[in-house]
């Protein structure tokens, strides 16, 4: 007996470069099934459902969907709402009224938790429908998954940013600090290591939320690199914490802004970078110290996309539709690495993904806690996709001095 | 009578994505001439000359030079030194000692001024040699030139950044401020206008150094846009000044850092973005206000290059070698637009370019002084090169409400 009814797809949390691939994967695959009467897109995530604000994507052209697929950021718009039980009851009134039987939510671990709550409500309400979470996050912090769609493209941005920052810092030496997104997991910051091509290339130091950040150790690290190379490039996660787990950034801002999930606002401010730069200026005798906070560019920049990431983002959308509509299963789509480099997809119980955070494993971080290992580089490289450019140097010999022979 | 001797090429000022194209253009073209005995690259600009620190680029492989050409940032490294008369005398001691007869300096208007001073010293010293300035600056602020190599690629970065920022801001609305490089000229900030594809697309406001920045007017502008669209994307130049010509950023920082040219340090700090964001938060009832300061990514990011910019950067290098070695002329290479889109190159007296700044013309800025005109977009578009991606939207119809029909 086929479950006939409508499909609703929504996008939650922070946008990524490939989140629309997953959307289009769901829409195109769903439209093939006879039991699917309509495919709706909820505007602004779950808040669009309670507001009954839907696009009728059954009436969208396939060609335009393909154009949207290669456009970054959430085409259905997003939300930071986290539904409680009351919110979910409202969702159900709307879903029933519209005869929606398949719900796909593309998002991170917060969105997975939303799907889990919605699904529990569905069971309580004795309303048969399928709810599937489709993974998406530049943070790469979802459990079970080898990695998540959105990460590869953001990691490619970070790699390209640090390849450039390292070259710039070689040309005009000093200390350069690049602050990278990543509240609890350092995967995105760690992708900066791809810039380490030649032995003296930066980032020379990489600070991750997985290891406690100590200001005095930081100073010693920078001094050591600067003494050796006459310059220092640093990649630092916005989420670095002290030994007590307190985010360094909360030490700076009196009036900390939090979202509906209780998350502190880390992006959209250069405060952490400024603090780290000023600390070097004050305590080491280095004049040229610069910091950049990469901010929203990391997740929205046009034209910096990993093709591998694109393919996988599309497939998790397609697989979601297949699991729900062919196989009648709820859950979270997960990516599993099967070779170097190949993947397969599974469906995992929502509770194993929802609200949980994956961290970088110990094998990916060096003993000193200020860089990554080759094992991490091996892990991350295929995710960045094809066509990644590499920096090249002049290798011509130096000329003998004439006037300053004694030097 | 051919002037036989060595070539020295150097790179000065801030790196760009295509500065090595010009370097390689000079080197490969120079190596064809029989009267050129060696081609040296000065390490760290003019400071490499007084330190007798040269690469022998005659011994560099052509293949590696081609690889270096597509690598961003100055492969010979750079300097902020501005030679005075004493400094120039030291330069001559070295040049004479090494039998250098052709000097090529790739840089902005500060570097052009360096070439001018060096050239004057050459005449005084009765030492025959050719000195040529090769244009380079992401600021696009060199006189005589239609535009300058380096600008097109940086402008492409800014266009891609604002295409993404606009999409991100549509998905999660609020006020977004992107701070762009540009001390005196707004060309780079203005390139953000390429993101204005659909009528409601940002940047909705563009603030340039060419127009006085007034905090109260800014507040009114933002309120107007926010009331209309429920969101607001702003592109602002780091060099914006008040009606008295005082940079807004100097109002914030007590201990302003200056370089050897007396230029205030504007980049490598998020201070201006934070000020502008906080001013909105305090004075308008808008919660989500974010600012990003794009920083060094704008000039060094790997893999965001305009092919038009690459071609022209290569050609100004080649033309420099031809003018100096074939034609025995000093000066600055300039780019002239001859069609839409085609260019030609000339050589211009150094004094017409050195130390001067070109600003955006009135036709490029709207009457209110808070956006650009179509004339500017027509001007800038070809410089961004081919393959620039465009954003696409869902255009499917909205679904009728069932439960909230009254709305």
Residue of A nearest to B402 (CA): A97
CB contact under 8 A, B54 and A269: no
Question: Which range has the top average pLDDT, A96-100, A125-129, B109-113, B185-189?
Answer: B185-189
pLDDT higher than threshold 80 for residue B280: yes
Judgement on whether residues A100 and A224 belong to the same structural domain of the protein? no
Tokens linked to A128: 């048969």
DSSP A289: E
Q: Which of A60, A292, A295 shows the shortest C-beta gap to B268?
A: A292
B249 pLDDT above the threshold of 90: no
- Domain of residue A94, residue span: 5-149+304-352
Q: Is A347 helix (H, G, I), strand (E, B) or coil?
A: strand
Shortest CA gap B354–chain A (Å): 22
Residues A331 and A292 in one domain: no
Let me know if residue B398 belongs to a domain: no
- A388/B223 Cα distance (integer angstroms): 42
* Residue A391 maps to a domain: no
Strand B205-207 and strand B232-237: the pairing is: parallel
Residue B394 lies in a domain: no
Taking contacts as CB-CB distances below 8 angstroms, the residues of chain B near A73 are: 164, 167-168, 170-171
Contact B303 A160 (CB under 8 A): yes
Of B330, B352, B374, the position where a domain reaches its end is B352
Q: How many domains does chain B have?
A: 2
Task: Share the mean pLDDT of chain A.
Answer: 93
Q: Are residues A225 and A287 in the same domain?
A: yes
pLDDT tens-digit map of B27-65: 999 999 999 999 999 999 999 999 999 999 999 999 999
Q: Which pLDDT does position A93 carry in this prediction?
A: 83
Is A270 close to B267, i.e. CB distance below 8 A? no
Pick B392's closest partner by Cβ from A54, A64, A399: A64
d(CA A210, CA A270): 21
A302 interaction partners in chain B (CB closer than 8 Å): 159-161, 163-164, 167, 389, 391
Q: How many CA atoms lie within 13 A of B198 on its CB side?
A: 13
Among chain B residues, CA nearest to A281: B257
pLDDT at A50: 93
Least confident of A173-187, A252-266, B91-105, B151-165: A252-266
Mean pLDDT of A99-127: 89
Note whether B142 and B225 are same-domain residues. no
- Read off the pLDDT of residues A275-304 as tens digits, 9 standing for 90 and up: 899 899 999 989 899 999 999 999 999 999
* Residues A159, A242 share a domain: yes
Q: What is the pLDDT, as a whole number, of residue A96?
A: 85
Is pLDDT of A269 > 70?
Answer: no
Q: Please give the pLDDT value at position A225.
A: 98
Query: How is A34-103 classified by DSSP, letter by letter?
Result: TTEEEEEEETTHHHHHHTT-EEEGGGS-HHHHHHHHTS-S-TT--------HHHHHHHHHHHHHTTEEEE
The whole-number pLDDT of residue A88 equals 79
Q: Looking at beta carbons, which residues of chain B come within 8 Å of A402?
A: 52, 94, 97-98
What is the CB-side half-sphere exposure of residue B273 using CA atoms within 13 A? Answer: 32
pLDDT tens profile B340-352: 999 999 999 999 9
Q: For position A28, what pLDDT does the model report?
A: 98
* Residue B246, token pair as written in the block: 């005082």
Integer Cα distance of A56 and A42 in angstroms: 9
Per-residue 3-state assignment (H helix, E strand, C coil) for chain B: CCCCEEEEEEECCCCCCCHHHHHHHHHHHHCCCCCEEEEEEECCCHHHHHCCCEEEHHHCCHHHHHHHHCCCCCCCCCCCCCCCHHHHHHHHHHHHHCCEEEEEEEECHHHHHHHHHHHHHHHHCCCCCEEEEEECCCCCCCCCCCCCCCHHHHHHHHHHHHHHHHHHHHHCCCEEEEEECCCCCCHHHHHHHHHCCCCCCCCCEEECCCCCCCHHHHHHHHHHHHHHHCCEEEEEECCCECCCCCEHHHHCCCCCCECCCCCECCCCCCHHHHHHHHHHHHHCCCCCEEEEECCCHHHHCCCCCCHHHHHHHHHHHHHHHHHHHHCCCCEEEEEEEEECCEEEEEEECHHHCCCCCCCCCHHHECCCCCCECHHHHHHHHHHHCCCCCCCCCCCCCECCCCCCCCC
A167/B391 CB distance under 8 A:
no
pLDDT in tens, A72-109: 999 999 998 888 878 878 888 898 899 999 999 999 98
Closest chain A C-alpha to B258 CA, distance in angstroms: 11
pLDDT at B120: 86
| CA-based nearest distance B357→chain A, Å | 23
Within-domain flag for B184:
yes
Q: Give me the pLDDT at residue A252, please.
A: 63
Let me know whether A67 and A214 are in one domain.
no
Same domain flag for A311 and A249: no
For residue A290, give the 3-state DSSP assignment. strand
Is the torsion defined by CA of B184, B189, B194, B196 positive or negative?
negative
Binding residues of A for diphosphate: 14
Model confidence over A336-369: pLDDT tens digits? 999 999 999 999 999 999 989 999 999 999 999 9
Instruction: Indicate if A139 belongs to the active site.
Output: yes
Domain assignment present for residue B402? The answer is no
Please determine, for residue A217, whether its predicted confidence score (pLDDT) is greater than 60: yes
Looking at chain B, which residue has its C-alpha nearest residue A98?
Answer: B402
Q: Which two tokens stand for residue A161?
A: 């940013």
Annotated catalytic residue within A110, A139, A141, A309: A139
Task: Give the residue from A290, A332, A282 showing the smallest Cα distance to A116.
Answer: A332
- Chain B residues in contact with A60 (beta carbon < 8 A): 394-396
Q: How confident is the model over A190-199, as pLDDT tens digits?
A: 999 999 999 9
Other Cβ atoms less than 10 A from the Cβ of A198: the count is 11
Asked if the model's pLDDT at residue A265 lies above 80, the reply is no
State how far the Cα of B57 lies from the Cα of B36, in Å rounded to an integer: 12
Q: Verify that B96 and B208 share a domain, yes or no.
A: no
Kindly determine whether residue B394 and residue A75, on different chains, have CB atoms separated by under 8 Å.
Answer: yes
Question: Can you give the CATH number for the domain in which B236 is found?
Answer: 3.40.50.460
Contact B136, A43 (CB under 8 A): no
Cross-chain CB nearest to B403 (options A58, A97, A257): A97
Residues B238 and B254 in one domain: yes
Q: Is residue A367 part of a domain?
A: yes
Whether A303 and B304 lie within 8 Å, measured CB to CB = yes
| Cross-chain Cβ contact B164/A67 below 8 Å | no
Q: Is residue A258 part of a domain?
A: yes
Task: Identify the band that residue B263 occupies on the pLDDT scale cut at 50, 70 and 90.
Answer: low
Residues of B forming the active site: 139
Domain co-membership, A137 together with A227: no
CATH label of the domain that carries residue B105 = 3.40.50.450
Instruction: Kindly state the average pLDDT of the residues B115-127.
Output: 85
Let me know whether B143 and B61 are in one domain.
yes
Say which of A11, A60, A160 has its CB closest to residue B301. A160
| Helix axes of A19-30 and A307-321: crossing angle, nearest 10 degrees | 40
A81 and A111 fall within a common domain: yes
| Structure letter (DSSP) for residue A206 | E
Domain boundary among A333, A352, A371: A352
**Over residues A375-402, mean pLDDT:** 96
Summarize the confidence of residues A261-270 as an average pLDDT: 61
Predicted confidence (pLDDT) per residue in A45-71, tens digit: 999 999 999 999 999 999 999 999 999
Cross-chain Cβ contact B394/A57 below 8 Å = yes
Of A97, A271, A295, the CB nearest to B402: A97
Q: So what's the ipTM on this one?
A: 0.94
A72 to chain B: which residues are within 8 Å by CB? 164, 167-168, 391
pLDDT value at position B347?
97
* Of A128 and A256, more confident: A128
Is residue B407 in some structural domain?
no
Is B295's CB within 8 Å of A300's CB?
no
């Amino acid at each position: 007996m086929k479950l006939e009814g409508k499909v609703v797809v929504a996008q939650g949390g922070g946008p990524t470069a490939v989140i629309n691939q997953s959307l289009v994967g769901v829409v195109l695959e769903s439209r093939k099934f006879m039991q699917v009467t309509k495919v709706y897109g909820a505007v602004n995530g779950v808040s669009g459902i309670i507001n009954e604000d839907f696009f009728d994507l059954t009436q969208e052209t396939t060609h335009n969907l393909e154009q949207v697929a290669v456009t970054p950021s959430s085409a259905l718009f997003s939300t930071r709402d986290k539904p409680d039980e009351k919110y979910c009851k409202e969702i159900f009134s709307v879903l029933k009224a519209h005869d929606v039987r398949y719900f796909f939510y593309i998002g991170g671990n917060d969105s997975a938790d939303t799907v889990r709550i919605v699904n529990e409500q569905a069971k309580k309400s004795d309303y048969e429908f399928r709810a599937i979470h489709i993974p998406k996050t530049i943070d790469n912090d979802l459990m079970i998954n080898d990695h998540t769609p959105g990460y590869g493209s953001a990691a490619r941005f970070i790699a390209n940013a640090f390849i450039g920052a390292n070259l710039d810092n070689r040309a005009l030496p000093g200390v350069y600090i690049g602050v990278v997104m990543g509240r609890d997991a350092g995967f995105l910051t760690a992708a900066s290591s791809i810039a380490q091509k030649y032995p003296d290339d930066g980032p020379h130091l990489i600070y991750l939320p997985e290891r406690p950040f100590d200001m005095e150790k930081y100073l010693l690290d920078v001094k050591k690199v600067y003494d050796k190379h006459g310059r220092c490039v640093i990649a630092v996660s916005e989420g670095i914490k002290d030994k007590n787990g307190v985010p360094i950034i909360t030490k700076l801002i009196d009036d900390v802004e939090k979202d509906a999930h209780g998350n502190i606002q880390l992006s959209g401010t250069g405060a952490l970078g400024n603090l780290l730069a000023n600390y070097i200026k004050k305590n080491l005798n280095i004049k040229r110290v610069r910091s950049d906070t990469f901010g929203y560019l990391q997740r929205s920049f046009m034209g910096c996309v990993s093709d591998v990431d694109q393919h996988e983002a599309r497939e998790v959308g397609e697989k979601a539709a297949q699991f729900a509509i062919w196989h009648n299963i709820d859950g979270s789509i997960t990516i599993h690495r099967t070779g170097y480099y190949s993947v397969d997809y599974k469906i995992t119980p929502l509770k194993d993904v929802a609200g949980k955070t994956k961290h970088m494993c110990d094998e990916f971080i060096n003993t000193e806690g200020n860089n990554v290992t080759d094992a991490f580089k091996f892990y991350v490289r295929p995710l960045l996709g094809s066509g990644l450019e590499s920096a090249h140097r002049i290798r011509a010999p130096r000329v003998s001095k004439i006037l300053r022979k004694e030097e």
